[in-house]
Each structure stands twice: as C-alpha cells, then as structure tokens.
C-alpha cells in the first residue's frame, strides 16, 4: 500500500502534543486565577494587620505629679487648673528648658487629654491632694508615632511634625523609663475623639450592638414568618409570584438605595430621630430581610414532606404540623441564614451614611435613640482623618470588625455542620 | 407615666387573659367527661389573650404615630390663627422652638411668651391625651378579653380562630417585601419629581456638565448649579467596567477550575476562602484601595512617566473587581455544575481533551447562566458605594483615561446627602434623582439576569 494520504490517526497524533500543551496552559490559567485571588486575600489581611497591630500599644508617660493644695481648691475641684500640674512636673524633669516656645514644645509631649485624667483621679480620690504621686498619662500621638517608628528621624526637621528638641526629650524620657509603650486600654474604653491618643471604639461598638439588636429582633421573626407563609401556605398565583420576584430583586438592590428609603420614609415622613440606632436598625432590617427569607425558604424546602404528612395523618392541623414539627427541623438552617444576614448588616456602611449615623459623636450611646455611629462608619470617619496615628487606629478597628465577622461566620458554619441532616 | 408602660401593662393583662381562658376551658373539660371540646385548652386561652391584647396595641400604635402631629397642629393653630398665612420656613422654626421648649431644652434668645403658653398647653394636652389613651386601651383590652371569655364553650372553634389570626400575621410579614419595594419607588420618585420641577429631565439625562453647587444668595457669582448626569454615569460605567475586566476572567477561570479540575478536598478549602472575599465589608476594601492600592498605582505610573491621579479610577476599579470575583465565580460554578454529565461524556467520547470540552461544550451550554451571573455582578459593581466613596474622586470629569479621577452615581449621592440637607434645593433633591437612575439601571440588570438564570435552570432540570 502506498502512503499518499495521511490516516486520521496520523493527523490526530500530529496535533496531540500541541493539544496537550494547550490543555496544560488552560489548567494553569484556572489555577492562577485562584492563586491570584488568594494572594490578594493574603495581601489585604497582611497589610491591614501590619498597619494596625501597633495601635494596640500606646505611649504612656509616667510623671511625678504634686497635687498642690494651693492649686486644687477643695470647694471647686472640677475647675482647677490640672494642666498646670502637668506643666510643673514636666518643668521639674527638664529644668534647663527655658523660653516660651521651648516650654510649649515640651508640654506638647503630653496629650491634651492628660489633664482630664488627672481631674478624674482627684475627683475619685480627693485624699490625693497634698501628696505627690507617680501618674501614668497618655503621651501625644506624635510621640507615639515616633516611638513606633512611623516618624523617621532622618527627614529634615521642617518636614516632620516633631522637632529635634522634642526628639531629644523623648529619648531622655525613654532612657529614664518614664516613657514606654503600654497596652492601649483607651482604644477599647473611649468614644471617638479628635485626638488620636484619646479616641476609642467603644462608642462605635455600642452603636453597632444596638443597631444589630433591633435588626435581629425585627428581621428574624418577620423573615421566618414570611418564609413560612410563602413556602407552606401561599397558593401559587400571581400575587405570590410577584412577592417571590420582588424578594429576589430586593436582594440585589444596591444598599445605598435602602438608605434613601430610610431618609425619605423614616426620617422625613415619620420624623424619627436622626443618627439613631433605631432608624439604622430599621433600614438594615429591610436590607437583610431578603437574605433571611431566601435562606429560611431553602431550609423549609429541605424538610421532607413525609414529616408533614405524618403529622397531618395523626390529626394535627396544618399550623400545628408546621409549628410542632417542620419549624424545629428547619430552625438550624434559618439561624444560619440569619447569622449571615446579621454579618452583612454589621459590615454595612452606605445606607447608614444617608440617615446621619456619620456624625462626630464623642459620647458612648446608652439607648436606641441616642445619636450613635457604628463600627464600619467609624472606620470610614477615621480613614478620612489626616493624622498618621489614625491610620493605625483605622486598621485596628478593621481588625476588630473582621474578628466579629469571623466569629459570626464561624458560628454559622458550626451550626450548619452540627445540625446538617441528610434525609 | 410613660406610654411605654401601657404596653407592658397590656401585655400583662393579655397573659392574665390567657391563663383565665385556659382555666375555663379546662374546667368544662374536666367537669363532664362526655363533653369533648373542639380545641385544646391552650387555644381558648390564646384566643382570649389575642382579643385582649391586639385591639389595645393597635390603638396604641395609631396614637403614637399621630399624636405629635395632631397636638402640634392644635397648639400652633391657636398661636398663628386660622386666617393669616405664615410661610413654611417660619412655621418650621416655630415648630422646632416648640419642640425644644416641650422637651425642656433651653435655647438662646428670649422665649416668646406666646410660645411659652403654647408649650405648656402642649404638655397639658399631651398629659390628657396619655390619660385618655390609657383609659381607652384598658377598656378595649377588658371588653375584648371579657367578650371572648364569656363565649368560651366546648363547641367554640378556638383553634381555627387562632390559626386565622396567625395566618393574617404571616401574610402581613410576607407583604413587607412588597411594601419595601413600594416604599423605595415612591420615596425616590416623589423627591425626583420635585427635582424635575426645577431641572428639566432632558438636561438631567443628557447634560454633560455636573456641578451641583448652588448659589446661596441671589447676587453670588458663579456656581449656578448644573445637573447633567452624563459625566457621572460615564465615571460609574468606567469604574464598573474596570471591575468587570478584573472579575470576569478571574472569576470564570476560578469557577471552571473548581468545578472541572479541582479535587474534592481542594474545592472544600478554596471555595469558602473565595467567599471570604465577598464577606469582607466594603469599607475595608475602600480603606485598602485608598491607602495601599492607589499609592502603588501612582508610584508605578511615576516610574513609567505617566501622571496618575491619586484618586484614579483604576485603583477603585481594581479593588472593586476583586470584591466581585466571588459573585461571578460562585454563580458560574453552580451553573457549570448544572450542565448534564452526558454532554461531557459525549465530548470525551469523541476524543476531546478536557480543555476542549470546556471551551467547546460546557461553556456554550452554560452561557446563559454565566451571562446572568455577570449581569448580577455588574449590577453589584454599579451600586457599590464605599469603595468609590473612599478611593474615587469627587469632581465629575468626562474622560476615557482610567488614570484620572472620575466620580460615580453613588459617590455623588453620598456627598450630596451627608451633611446639611435642604429638601427644597435641587442640590439635595438631585441625590434622589440619581438614586432613581441607579435603582432603574440595577433593576433592569437584575430582572434580565434573574430571568435568564431561571430560564436556564428550567432547561436542564
């Protein structure tokens, strides 16, 4: 036989190497897509942690404060000049600092909030008056940044916010053990502040808690009820079709539109208070409802019909069959959906900006109608602040937020794993 | 006496009614064994409690939502007099002062004695109103409870009644979804209508200049305010486009790899990790984009001799793209898994390699579903707010250069509505017009996407 036309096998074999190469390349593309996203995830978490972990420690100055009787009038302890006590103490430490501007620079090393801490100390314990006591006071944020190495000593003096003299004093204080980095309790016990060293996330966390409480109290019962009706009772007609399409659509409506709704309806129409966790909770309820309804319906659907039929067979009414048998079996799935919805609500920022939860609020909110911010909004506010010290605080607040979210999602996964049932 | 106490009181009364109703039902059931009550005793108790509690609480809710407006109008009516006209701004000021006085807040300036009288009248009337409310609620609760209690007998169909009430509640809950949509549409349309009375629809949709600053005084120079949405829309689409250019290839390839190549263990680990990307709050992405990615791009631009704005569209778009990857990948993953195995087997049988099967058979078969998932992701990108608020610019440039700063619809809504709002100036109302635009665009995308996905599912089920 003459070999004039190549056989099919030959054609196939000739192309085989090329096709296998292509196959390998394709697989590599797929893998690299995953690797790229994972790398980004690592990069994101890495850079946040690298920026934020230093915020959990803060510079504190130990000063020997003489609570002078002459300056602290027992009658009027609230209005005494506490800043003067600090200035005197600093002057004793650095006796050779003279001149107005030098003294002012020296006193700037201590935070402006230190005087209030002294005031609190004296008000709590008036016996301090007349004694000398070593007090731990917050240092200024620039000192804090210098100790943490965020301010470089190599740049010329005019380009940093801390002068050569100040750096010298800071070094002296560190050497004498009067200035060191301590665990930053202020960060967890204070509200917002314009001074980075005095600001904390407690106000935001309380605001988030109140908001989430309202969201949970409303969205869980309403979501479960709606799911029960749609899944178990609703006749399949146009009306229920409409509701179904509606819910799917609402789940994909941009969150900021819910903020517009809250502004127009809750604030302008019903006249509810601005910046209040109450309104925030209402808006977030409407936003998370679709998530909860969809998850709850899926959970109800997974309960086998035999359960319902058995209950009906022994004489239960439909409502009894559902409340006594179907709902308990579907509950873990519903809770999982609710927790995921709550996690979404906890991380949500945009709609809350619309209803005024973005105000600068120093006090820690004590009720549902007090003005408040929430954790993500606090992050947004701090991210806008120009001070270097706020960058690390923003990252630290993000770390706290992410910790909460990881716990919530972990709980959801745990619930699903523990109660998951294959029928 | 706080009105909230009334609620507690009513609830206590209602639980009392439950106990009594249940007791009565038990009594007739145990007295005569031949009598078989229609329902279990608890249902008689529940029915009594419902009749006792619900009307009273409804009255409470209505009064709470109306009392303030009614009382303010009554009191102000006395001050202003019915004949003369007062313009709304002045009236609002009066109402504000009145509220402050009533709440006990002092305000600077002298207190108008007339207003002082009005405030004390308000307080007095509020007290009377609360007292009346208490009486009405109590009567209602007692009458309702007693009415049902007196009618409890074995033949009464208590369970059916209770279940009927519960069912009405369930229907109401599922209608909230509809009410939300209606609320969104109405609130956005109502404010937009007021906006379009001052700015024509044509100027808004086709104008190419966006600068919403209004002159505060009539004699002020410049800033007359122009509301052309084109540059804002262009910026939105540019950033979303960059995001999609990142998310679609990566997300799709990740989905293909996970569903076709990856082993079970690999899939079980990587899929949740990918979902984390969707769970990270957007404000975190925004901070990351502004703090890390934007300077990175800027520095890279400088080394290549390009001038890059520090709020470039590229930075916001890239980060947003990463956020959207899981939306594309998990939906596409579902869709690819739904393609029947027979199609794959047929292709392998003909000698195709795995990649050939994927590109020539599976992806075309899954195309409608993939398109749906991409549309959903696009709607997510267009509506995304925090990343662009923190990383994109404020000034509306009409440009095609991704290295320059552009602004988006959501950024403009936020900047217009955060801070002072005047609901009679087009500056504030423009936010609602943009909101309407955003809602309509995303709604269209969602409806198409959901329809396509649904249609596709039916095809293979």
Does residue A152 come out as left (phi exceeding 0), alpha (psi in the -120 to 50 range) or beta? beta
Considering the domain boundaries, does residue A14 fall inside one?
Answer: no
pLDDT at A371 over 60: yes
pTM for this one?
Answer: 0.88
d(CA A382, CA B158): 58
Give the SS3 label for residue B312: strand
Contact call for residues A122 and A72 (beta carbons, < 8 A): yes
**What's the pLDDT at A258?**
94
Contact call for residues A365 and A273 (beta carbons, < 8 A): no
Considering the domain boundaries, does residue A275 fall inside one?
Answer: yes
Kindly state whether residues B113 and B244 are assigned to the same domain: no
**What's the pLDDT at B89?**
65
Mean pLDDT over the full length of chain B: 85
Considering the domain boundaries, does residue B362 fall inside one?
Answer: yes
**What's the pLDDT at B86?**
59
Kindly state whether residues A213 and A292 are assigned to the same domain: yes
Task: Quickly list DSSP for B240-261.
Answer: HHHHHHHHHHHHHHHHHIIIII
Kindly state whether residues B291 and B430 are assigned to the same domain: yes
d(CA A254, CA B385): 8
Strand order in the sheet with A57-66: A132-138, A57-66, A179-183
Considering the domain boundaries, does residue B188 fall inside one?
Answer: no
* Interface membership of A285 toward B (CB under 8 Å): no
Our CA-based measurement puts residue A306 at a distance from the nearest CA of chain B, in whole angstroms, of: 22
The CATH number given to whatever domain includes residue A266 is: 1.10.3720.10
* Interface membership of A230 toward B (CB under 8 Å): yes
Inter-chain contact B279–A23, Cβ cutoff 8 Å? no
Inter-chain contact B188–A257, Cβ cutoff 8 Å? yes
Which residues on chain B are in Cβ contact (under 8 Å) with A270?
65
Give the SS3 label for residue A7: coil
**What's the pLDDT at A281?**
95
Tokens 């204070």 identify what position? A190
Count CB-CB contacts under 10 A for residue A334.
24
Kindly report, residue by residue over B47-77, the tens digit of the pLDDT.
999 988 898 999 998 888 787 778 777 777 7
* Interface membership of B175 toward A (CB under 8 Å): yes
Considering the domain boundaries, does residue B194 fall inside one?
Answer: no
**What's the pLDDT at B249?**
95
d(CA A172, CA A109): 12
Kindly state whether residues A113 and A246 are assigned to the same domain: no
- Element containing residue A134 per DSSP (H, E): strand A132-138
Our CA-based measurement puts residue A396 at a distance from the nearest CA of chain B, in whole angstroms, of: 11
Kindly state whether residues A228 and A174 are assigned to the same domain: no
Confidence of residue A77 (pLDDT cuts 50, 70, 90): low
Please tell me the number of Cα atoms within 13 Å of A124 on its side-chain side.
Answer: 6
Considering the domain boundaries, does residue A362 fall inside one?
Answer: yes
Task: Quickly list DSSP for B416-438.
Answer: HHSS---TTSHHHHHHHHHHHHH
Kindly state whether residues A251 and A357 are assigned to the same domain: yes
pLDDT at B242 over 70: yes
Q: At what angle do helices B294-303 and B313-338 cross, to 10 degrees?
A: 110
Confidence of residue A148 (pLDDT cuts 50, 70, 90): confident
Considering the domain boundaries, does residue A337 fall inside one?
Answer: yes
Does residue B351 come out as left (phi exceeding 0), alpha (psi in the -120 to 50 range) or beta? left
Kindly state whether residues B130 and B247 are assigned to the same domain: no
Kindly state whether residues B90 and B232 are assigned to the same domain: no
pLDDT at B217 over 60: no
Considering the domain boundaries, does residue A364 fall inside one?
Answer: yes
Considering the domain boundaries, does residue A26 fall inside one?
Answer: no
Domain count, chain A: 2
Task: Quickly list DSSP for A344-373.
Answer: HHHH--HHHHHTTTTS---SPP-STTS---
* Interface membership of B321 toward A (CB under 8 Å): no
> For residue B188, what are the contacts with CB-CB under 8 A and spacing of at least 6?
A257, A260, A261, A264, B432, B435, B436, B439
Kindly report, residue by residue over A182-240, the tens digit of the pLDDT.
888 889 988 888 888 888 999 999 999 999 999 999 999 999 999 999 999 988 888 88
Please, which residues 34-63 of chain A have a Cβ atom closer than 8 Å to chain B? Answer: 34, 36-38, 40-41, 44, 47-48, 51
Confidence of residue B324 (pLDDT cuts 50, 70, 90): very high
Confidence of residue B108 (pLDDT cuts 50, 70, 90): low
d(CA B331, CA B247): 13
Please, which residues 287-316 of chain B have a Cβ atom closer than 8 Å to chain A? Answer: 287-288, 290-292
pLDDT at B106 over 60: no
Contact call for residues B422 and B321 (beta carbons, < 8 A): no
State which residues form the domain around B101.
Answer: 3-156
Mean pLDDT over the full length of chain A: 88
Contact call for residues B291 and A51 (beta carbons, < 8 A): yes
The encoded tokens of residue A278 equal 């109450």
Kindly state whether residues A170 and A236 are assigned to the same domain: no
Kindly state whether residues A255 and A145 are assigned to the same domain: no
Kindly state whether residues B297 and B446 are assigned to the same domain: yes
Considering the domain boundaries, does residue B215 fall inside one?
Answer: no
Inter-chain contact A380–B191, Cβ cutoff 8 Å? no
pLDDT at B109 over 70: no
Inter-chain contact A41–B273, Cβ cutoff 8 Å? yes
Considering the domain boundaries, does residue B208 fall inside one?
Answer: no
CA distance to A281, B279, B352, B388, per residue, from A346 (Å): 10, 11, 49, 20
Kindly state whether residues A212 and A282 are assigned to the same domain: yes
Confidence of residue B84 (pLDDT cuts 50, 70, 90): low
Measured in degrees and rounded to the nearest 5, phi and psi for residue B226 equal -130, 135
Kindly state whether residues B354 and B239 are assigned to the same domain: yes
Global ipTM: 0.90
pLDDT at B80 over 70: no
d(CA A84, CA A81): 6
State which residues form the domain around A350.
Answer: 202-419
d(CA A135, CA A313): 76
Q: Which of B156, B175, B200 is the last residue of a domain?
A: B156
Among A39-43, A161-165, A379-383, A400-404, the minimum mean pLDDT is found in A161-165
Considering the domain boundaries, does residue B329 fall inside one?
Answer: yes
Q: Which of B42, B46, B284, B444 to mutate to test the interface with A (most CBs of A within 10 A)?
A: B284
Tokens 């379009």 identify what position? B196
Q: What is the mean pLDDT of residues A12-20?
A: 89
Considering the domain boundaries, does residue B436 fall inside one?
Answer: yes
**What's the pLDDT at A335?**
92
Kindly state whether residues A118 and A215 are assigned to the same domain: no
**What's the pLDDT at B280?**
93
CA distance to A213, A281, A289, A400, B283, per residue, from A210 (Å): 5, 8, 18, 17, 20
Kindly state whether residues B233 and B140 are assigned to the same domain: no
Which residues on chain B are in Cβ contact (under 8 Å) with A293?
177
The CATH number given to whatever domain includes residue B240 is: 1.10.3720.10
Contact call for residues B265 and A29 (beta carbons, < 8 A): no
Kindly state whether residues A236 and A117 are assigned to the same domain: no
Considering the domain boundaries, does residue A243 fall inside one?
Answer: yes
**What's the pLDDT at B81?**
57
Contact call for residues A150 and A53 (beta carbons, < 8 A): no
**What's the pLDDT at B357?**
94
Kindly state whether residues B329 and B429 are assigned to the same domain: yes
Kindly state whether residues B144 and B254 are assigned to the same domain: no
> For residue B357, what are the contacts with CB-CB under 8 A and spacing of at least 6?
B344, B347, B348
Which residues on chain B are in Cβ contact (under 8 Å) with A30?
253-254, 256-257, 260-261
pLDDT at B236 over 80: yes
pLDDT at B328 over 60: yes
Inter-chain contact B325–A260, Cβ cutoff 8 Å? no
Considering the domain boundaries, does residue B9 fall inside one?
Answer: yes
Kindly report, residue by residue over A307-320, the tens digit of the pLDDT.
999 999 999 999 99
d(CA A364, CA A377): 15
Domain count, chain B: 2
pLDDT higher at A374 or B73: A374
* Interface membership of A345 toward B (CB under 8 Å): no
Kindly state whether residues B146 and B233 are assigned to the same domain: no
pLDDT at B221 over 60: no
Q: Which of B102, B122, B156 is the last residue of a domain?
A: B156
Q: What is the mean pLDDT of residues A90-96?
A: 84
Kindly state whether residues A167 and A218 are assigned to the same domain: no
Beta bridge partners of B377: none
d(CA B148, CA A362): 53
Inter-chain contact B274–A37, Cβ cutoff 8 Å? yes
Kindly state whether residues A176 and A223 are assigned to the same domain: no
Kindly state whether residues B251 and B380 are assigned to the same domain: yes
State percent of chain B over pLDDT 70: 90
Task: Look up residue A178 and give its DSSP letter.
Answer: -
Please, which residues 159-218 of chain A have a Cβ atom closer than 8 Å to chain B? Answer: none
Nearest Cβ partner of B287 from A290, A398, A405?
Answer: A398
DSSP H stretches of helix in A125-161:
141-147
DSSP H stretches of helix in A238-387:
238-250, 255-261, 277-301, 305-313, 318-321, 327-347, 350-354, 375-383
* Interface membership of B327 toward A (CB under 8 Å): no
Kindly state whether residues B337 and B239 are assigned to the same domain: yes
Kindly state whether residues A67 and A213 are assigned to the same domain: no
Give the SS3 label for residue A162: coil
Considering the domain boundaries, does residue A107 fall inside one?
Answer: yes
Kindly report, residue by residue over A376-416, the tens digit of the pLDDT.
999 999 998 888 889 889 999 999 999 999 999 999 888 88
Tokens 């146009």 identify what position? A238
Q: Which of A124, A153, A184 is the last residue of a domain?
A: A184
């Amino acid at each position: 036989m003459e070999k004039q036309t190549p056989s099919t096998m030959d054609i196939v074999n000739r192309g085989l190497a090329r096709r296998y190469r292509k196959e390998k390349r394709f697989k590599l593309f797929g893998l690299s897509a995953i690797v790229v996203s994972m790398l980004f995830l690592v990069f994101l978490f890495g850079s946040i942690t690298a920026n934020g972990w230093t915020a959990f420690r803060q510079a504190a100055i130990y000063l020997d404060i003489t609570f002078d009787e002459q300056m602290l009038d027992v009658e009027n302890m609230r209005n005494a000049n506490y800043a003067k006590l600090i200035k005197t103490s600093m002057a004793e430490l650095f006796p050779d600092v003279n001149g107005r501007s030098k003294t002012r620079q020296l006193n700037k090393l201590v935070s402006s909030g230190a005087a209030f801490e002294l005031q609190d100390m004296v008000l709590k314990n008036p016996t301090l008056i007349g004694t000398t006591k070593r007090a731990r006071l917050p240092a200024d944020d620039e000192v804090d940044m210098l100790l943490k190495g965020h301010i470089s000593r190599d740049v010329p003096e005019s380009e940093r916010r801390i002068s050569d003299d100040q750096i010298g004093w800071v070094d002296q204080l560190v050497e004498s053990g009067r200035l060191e980095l301590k665990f930053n309790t202020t960060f967890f016990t204070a509200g917002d502040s314009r001074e980075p060293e005095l600001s904390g996330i407690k106000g935001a966390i309380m605001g988030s808690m109140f908001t989430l409480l309202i969201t949970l109290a409303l969205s869980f019962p309403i979501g479960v009820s709606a799911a029960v009706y749609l899944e178990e009772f609703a006749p399949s007609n146009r009306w229920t079709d409409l509701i179904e399409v509606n819910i799917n659509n609402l789940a994909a409506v941009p969150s900021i539109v819910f903020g517009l709704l809250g502004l127009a309806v809750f604030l302008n129409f019903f006249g509810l208070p601005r910046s209040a966790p109450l309104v925030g909770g209402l808006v977030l309820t409407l936003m998370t409802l679709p998530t909860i309804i969809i998850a709850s319906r899926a959970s109800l659907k997974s309960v086998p019909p035999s359960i319902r039929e058995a209950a009906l067979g022994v004489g239960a009414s439909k409502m009894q069959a559902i409340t006594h048998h179907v709902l308990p079996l579907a509950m873990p799935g519903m809770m999982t959906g609710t927790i995921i919805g709550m996690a979404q609500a906890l991380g949500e920022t945009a709609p809350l900006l619309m209803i005024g939860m973005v105000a600068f609020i120093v006090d820690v909110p004590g009720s549902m109608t007090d003005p408040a911010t929430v954790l993500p909004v606090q992050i947004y506010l701090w991210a806008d602040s120009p001070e270097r010290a706020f960058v690390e605080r923003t990252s630290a607040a993000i770390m706290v937020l992410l910790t909460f979210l990881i716990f919530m999602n972990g709980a959801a996964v745990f619930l699903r794993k523990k109660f998951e049932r294959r029928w | 006496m706080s009105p909230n106490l009334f609620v507690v009181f009513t609830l206590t009364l209602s639980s009392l009614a439950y106990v009594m109703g249940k007791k009565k039902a038990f009594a007739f059931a145990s007295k005569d064994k031949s009598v078989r009550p229609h329902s279990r005793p608890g249902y008689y108790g529940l029915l009594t409690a419902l009749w006792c509690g619900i009307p009273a609480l409804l009255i409470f809710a209505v009064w709470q939502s109306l009392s303030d407006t009614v009382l303010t109008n009554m009191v102000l009516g006395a001050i202003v007099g019915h004949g003369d006209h007062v313009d709304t701004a002045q009236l609002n000021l009066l109402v504000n002062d009145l509220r402050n006085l009533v709440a006990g807040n002092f305000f600077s300036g002298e207190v108008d004695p007339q207003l002082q009288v009005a405030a004390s009248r308000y307080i007095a009337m509020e007290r009377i109103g609360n007292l009346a409310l208490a009486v009405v609620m109590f009567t209602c609760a007692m009458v309702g409870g007693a009415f049902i209690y007196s009618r409890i007998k074995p033949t009464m169909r208590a369970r059916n009644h209770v279940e009927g009430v519960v069912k009405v509640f369930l229907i109401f809950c599922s209608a909230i979804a509809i009410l939300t949509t209606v609320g969104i549409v109405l609130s956005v349309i109502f404010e937009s209508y007021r906006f379009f009375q001052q700015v024509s629809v044509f100027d808004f949709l086709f104008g190419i200049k966006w600068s919403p600053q209004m002159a505060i005084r009539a004699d002020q120079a410049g800033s007359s305010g122009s509301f052309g949405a084109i540059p804002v829309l262009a910026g939105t689409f540019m950033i979303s486009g960059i995001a999609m250019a990142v998310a679609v290839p990566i997300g799709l390839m990740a989905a293909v790899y996970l569903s076709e190549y990856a082993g079970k263990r690999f899939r079980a680990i990587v899929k949740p990790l990918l979902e984390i990307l969707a769970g990270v709050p957007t404000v975190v992405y925004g901070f990351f984009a502004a703090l890390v990615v934007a300077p990175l791009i800027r520095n890279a631009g400088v080394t290549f001799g390009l001038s890059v704005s520090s709020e470039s569209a590229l930075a916001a778009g890239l980060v947003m793209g990463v956020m959207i990857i899981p939306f594309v990948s998990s939906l596409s993953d579902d869709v690819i898994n739904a393609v029947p195995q027979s199609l794959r087997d047929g292709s392998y049988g003909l000698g195709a390699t795995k990649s050939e099967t994927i590109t020539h058979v599976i992806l075309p078969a899954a195309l409608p579903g993939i398109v749906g998932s991409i549309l959903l992701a696009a709607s997510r990108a267009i509506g995304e707010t925090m990343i662009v608020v923190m990383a994109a610019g404020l000034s509306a440039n009409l440009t095609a250069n991704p290295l320059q700063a552009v602004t988006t619809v959501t950024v403009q809504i936020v900047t217009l509505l955060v801070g002072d709002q005047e609901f009679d100036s087009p500056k504030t109302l423009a936010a609602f017009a943009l909101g309407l635009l955003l809602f309509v665009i995303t709604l269209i995308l969602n409806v198409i996407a959901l329809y396509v996905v649904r249609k596709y599912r039916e095809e293979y089920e």
